[in-house]
Amino acid sequence: MPIRIVMSQTLNLPEEANLWDMSEVSTIVVTQRGARRSLQKLLASKGVEVVEFDILNPRDVMEYFHDRGYLSIFWECGGTLAASAISSGVIHKVYAFVAPKIIGGKNAPTPVGELGMVEMSQALNLIDVCYEQVGPDMLISGFLQPLPDILPTIPSLDETYAVDPTVSPYESSIIFFYKTWDPYGALSNFSPHPIQMPDENGDDVTWLSVEHYYQAHKFIGMDDTLARDCIEKIKSAKSPEEAAKIGRSMQRKRPDLVRSDWDNVKIDVMYRALKCKFSTYPHLNAMLLSTAGSVLVEASPHDLFWGGGRDGEGLNYLGRLLMKLRSEFLGESSSSCESSSISV
């Protein structure tokens, strides 16, 4: 029996849609645990099944439905999710429509998002290709060969060992993370996990993600109406991507609004936010601890400060902070076990 599967990390979905019509085809919604409880209840009242994942990524979703007996799933999505599905290795056959239209521009939509491939020599080839005209469009189908290794190399093993002594600089494995739907995507600042942090007056303030908190703190303490407005816009941004866009754009256009000590405090700001995040959510803490002994690298090809870069040229400060936190959490756990042993 066919079903529709809707994958949405934050459940940013309409309350009324044809997808929720269960009269002919059943719908299952998969989402991040805890996302929009009110909408989940509404969908359940319509007969829509909602399945929550601690960490939402295409591979886990496909394995879940395989275990339920579904052997063939048609994956229809935009460029961002298409890139995630391809890089996860869950796409075997591609159906691509080519329309007799021309579109261009920096923000023009693309069929596949960031895969780290910028040269034609890196392009993915389809095999057993078929062509069919459907109205004015051309339908091209073919099977996808295994994805080549496009991950960046590890930056400075010796420096990594200095940050986290549990990591061997010679025999360590490398765990890359970047997109939030990847297996270790929850390590990203863009993962949808709200944090509560005290403001300048000591009052707890909720931020929708670590990225919201980080971007806003570029302008915290600045006695300027525009800076305060920017902070509020970042705080109310619907997604981490939007918060990052607002913060980076304002920093670029009005560098005078950025706090003068930002370069000196931004690592500490990030550290505090990360510590709050991985202290608040037990399953995230468990994920971080499960990586013990491995080098963590944010596989951003563009951010050479927080990320590892395309060829390992980045400083990977986000990976370093996560490994520092991991080492601290492991130390606390070890101390707790020793205390319990002594008390016995």
Q: What are the residue ranges of CATH 1.10.357.40 in the chain?
A: 157-334
CA torsion, ordered 202, 237, 5, 23, to nearest 10 deg: 100
pLDDT in tens, 110-142: 778 766 666 676 678 888 899 999 999 999 998
Report the C-alpha gap between 33 and 62 in whole angstroms. 17
Write down the pTM of the prediction: 0.61
Give the architecture-level CATH label for domain 3-91+102-116.
Answer: 3-Layer(aba) Sandwich (3.40)
**Which residue spans of the chain are classified as CATH 3.40.430.10?**
3-91+102-116
Q: In whole angstroms, how far apart are CA 283 and each of 193, 213, 277, 278, 312?
A: 11, 21, 11, 9, 29
What token pair was written down for 242? Answer: 């939007």
Measuring CA to CA, how many Å separate 185 from each of 24, 37, 50, 100, 253? 35, 22, 21, 37, 30
At residue 151, the pLDDT reads: 47
Domain spanning 157-334, CATH class? mainly alpha
d(CA 157, CA 10): 36
User: Cα-flanking dihedrals φ and ψ of residue 28, to 5°?
Assistant: -120, 130
Considering only 35-49, 62-76, 145-159, which range has the smallest mean pLDDT?
145-159
Tell me the HSE value of 282 on the side-chain side, using a 13 A CA sphere: 0
pLDDT of residue 71: 74
